[in-house]
Amino acid sequence: MSARRCANPADTVAAGRALAAWLVPGDVVVLTGPLGAGKTVFSTGVAAALGVRERVTSPTFTLVRPHACANDRGIVTLYHADLYRVESLDEAADLALGELVEESAVALIEWGERAEALWGPDHWEVRFTIEDDDVRELALTAPPGRAPVTGWAA
């Protein structure tokens, strides 16, 4: 696990961009932390680095929002999910996020700890902690066997 301190929202976006450089098709990234911790802000950085051209907003009410990507790494879709409103593991399983990413996509799952049993050990995790109004601490855990993310502790 490695940590990154983000002093403002721009730093949180930059952290998302840094992680995106290490993602490959099939990756699932679980984002955990309290409301207002910066999970969606982080997601905008990942999306921008993967070539998403549209505005990225919280998918709280739609649950899963697909975004077309333009990059040379084989990632054609970013699925941005939010499980805050999901009430059971079965309801989360019905979203079939694991199957959606199998071919050429990655998934960012806010509140993903609510369905931890679905992801298995082979997922990324970013834990957000609020230190004060602007400062966030992001703790990154990579899937087993994946190299540490360089550029993360910027």
Q: How many CB atoms lie within 10 A of CB 64?
A: 16
Beta-ladder partners of 128: 138
- Express each pLDDT in 65-124 by its tens digit: 999 999 999 999 999 988 887 777 677 777 777 777 777 999 999 988 877 878 778 889
- Express each pLDDT in 42-54 by its tens digit: 999 999 999 999 9
pLDDT given at position 148: 65
Does residue 66 sit within a domain?
yes
Does residue 81 sit within a domain?
yes
Tell me the pTM: 0.90
Is residue 52 within 8 Å of residue 68, measured between CB atoms? Answer: yes
Domain that holds residue 134: 2-141
Cβ contacts of residue 87 below 8 Å, gap of 6+? none
The DSSP H or E segment spanning 77 is strand 77-82
Q: How many CB atoms lie within 10 A of CB 131?
A: 11
Does residue 146 sit within a domain?
no
Count up the domains in the chain and report the number: 1
Does residue 150 sit within a domain?
no
pLDDT given at position 117: 75
From residue 53, how far is each of 25, 77, 79 by CA, in Å? 19, 12, 14
Q: What is the DSSP letter of 2?
A: E
Kindly report the CATH number assigned to the domain that includes residue 66.
3.40.50.300
Does residue 129 sit within a domain?
yes
Does residue 116 sit within a domain?
yes
Does residue 76 sit within a domain?
yes
